[in-house]
Each structure stands twice: as structure tokens, then as C-alpha cells.
Amino acid sequence: MIQTTVDKKELLEELNSDYKLSKEQIEFFRENGFVKLKQVLSKEVLDYYGEIITEHVFKYNRNTAPMEKRNTYDKAFLQIFNLWYKNDEIKEFVFSKRLAKIATELLGVKGVRLYHDQALYKEPGGGITPWHTDQYYWPLESPETVTVWIPLQETPMQMGPLAFAHKSHLVDLGRTIEIGDESEKILAETIKKQNFEYTNTPFDLGEVSYHRGWTLHNAGPNVSDKPRKVMTIIYMDKDMRMKMPENRHQLEDWEKWLSLVKVGEVCAGPTNPILYESNN
């Protein structure tokens, strides 16, 4: 049971209130494929919902092998999908109009649907998150996708914050490579050779990032003694259509998140509600 003196009504009001994006922030996102935004969520919201999310991550986690016996991917984080299915209060967080409206405005679309959520908890001693692109895994027709990465605590460099290669969404890099040792080797070398600008900075409490599905990103190891607790929400254009899967991961995602959607149809399955729609 969550113990708090915070008014739940105030938390919900915050989750569904407007966050004013500047013209410069929107332009930065569209040019570079990502943006970091400060003071998006309050400590009260992060503490309240973070405690519930953490409880459910460890409840549903099945990755209990010692770190030294895990592969690179499993060392990177504990990964739990669609917690909004499992708890109504987590659903309140995932369905936040504040977060979904930011996604809509950054993409410049008329509205966004939920693709899915996922908690990403990098345990103490957890390894790197290799360079990769997210949309390699998604059977989605257009590039109008974006993920919000929400640290549930202040995230210094020791915890392995998310980092981004500027403008990498504009080039064909990492679009046929799954995350792992190979993607880390190939993409790290390419990023260095092609002299990509690279942002790798801490996250303040309440700071979040948004990155496009084709933006190259990675994260360092967690060398602290505390878990790096992060919740993510993946949005897609409300008019996104399903494409024919191009690899086994996209086929698995079709079966998991879009099983009732046929190739060529709008991704309007029962687990893909519209989370924000502009009136303009």
C-alpha cells in the first residue's frame, strides 16, 4: 500500500495538464531526433507512481540469474512490458495526457496511440545498453514514432543515463541490427568514424527525454549501489499502419501488441488506444 500525504487529485491533474514546449525544443527534436526536457514531472508524481511501478517490476521479473551468467542484453536491464494491463494506477501514469501531448507536438501529428509501455530497470552492477534503434523491432509503416524515457529518480552518470547520437534518425544506420554485442561494436565504430555529435548527460529529477524510433541511442553501466529505475512509453501516430514484418522480432511484436490488426490497417487494436488527439 502506498503511503503518501499527497493529494491524489493533484497528481492526476498534473499528469493531465499541459507542458509548454518552446519552438526551439520542437525544432531541436525534429533536427536531432531527440530532446531532453526538464521539470516535466514533479517529485510527488515520480515518488507515488514510481513506488507502484517498482513493486510490479519486481513482482513480474523472471530474470533472476546472477549478473555474471547473463548475456549483454540481460545485463543491461530488467524489462517488463505493459504494466498498465496489470494495475489501474500505473494505467493512470501511462495514459498521461501531459506526456502524450508532448509526443504529439514533437512529432507534428494530429494525435498519438499507445504502442506499449515498458519498465527498464538497470540493476546495480548492470552493464551497458548497446547502441541500437528501437524501430528495428516494430512492424510499423512510418517513422512517426517516439519514446518517452522517464527516470523515476535523479540519474547521475554513475547510473547509466540514456545517450543519443544527433541526427542519426536521418541516416540508414542500425536499421537491420538487433541490440547486442554486434550492434555495439558496429555502431560505436561508425558513430566515431562519421563524427556524430553525441549527448550523454545526467538526468535531473523530473527531467525526461523523447527520442524517435530510428534515433541511435545507448546507455552506460550502472556502477552505483542503487537501481536505475526508468519507465518508458512508446507512442505512434494515431494513423499509423501495420506493415509486413521484416524480421522475427517484428513478427513477435505483431503477435504481442497488434494481433488483431492486419497488414495495411491502422494500428487501432484494443491495446493501442489514442492517448491524445489535437483539436486543431
Name the DSSP letter for residue 135: G
- pLDDT over 50 (residue 2): no
Percent helix, percent strand, percent coil in the chain, to nearest 5: 35, 25, 40
Compute the distance between CA of residue 140 and CA of residue 144 in angstroms, rounded to an integer.
9
Burial degree of 71 (CB within 10 A; 0-12, 13-18, 19+) = exposed
Residue 39 CA neighbour count, 13 Å, CB half: 4
Sign of the Cα pseudo-torsion (249, 60, 230, 237, in order): positive
> pLDDT-derived band of residue 69, with 50, 70 and 90 as boundaries?
confident
Amino acid at 221: P
Compute the distance between CA of residue 62 and CA of residue 57 in angstroms, rounded to an integer.
10
Average pLDDT score over residue span 123-139: 96
Query: What's the pLDDT at 166?
Result: 98
- pLDDT over 90 (residue 91): yes
For the segment 196-242, what is each residue's pLDDT rounded down to a tens digit? 999 999 999 999 999 999 999 999 999 999 999 999 999 999 999 99
- pLDDT over 50 (residue 162): yes
Query: What's the pLDDT at 280?
Result: 73
Going by C-alpha positions, the residue among 175, 222, 177, 218 that lies closest to residue 196 is 218
C-alpha cell read off for 218: 545507448
C-alpha cell read off for 3: 503511503
For the segment 108-122, what is each residue's pLDDT rounded down to a tens digit? 999 999 999 999 999
Burial 204-232 (b: 16+ CB within 10 A, else e): ebbbbbbbbbbbbbbbbbbebeebbbbbb
Compute the distance between CA of residue 165 and CA of residue 174 in angstroms, rounded to an integer.
12
Compute the distance between CA of residue 156 and CA of residue 34 in angstroms, rounded to an integer.
19
Going by C-alpha positions, the residue among 92, 111, 80, 81 that lies closest to residue 236 is 111
Which CATH superfamily does the domain covering 8-277 fall into? q2cbj1_9rhob like domain (2.60.120.620)
Compute the distance between CA of residue 187 and CA of residue 264 in angstroms, rounded to an integer.
31
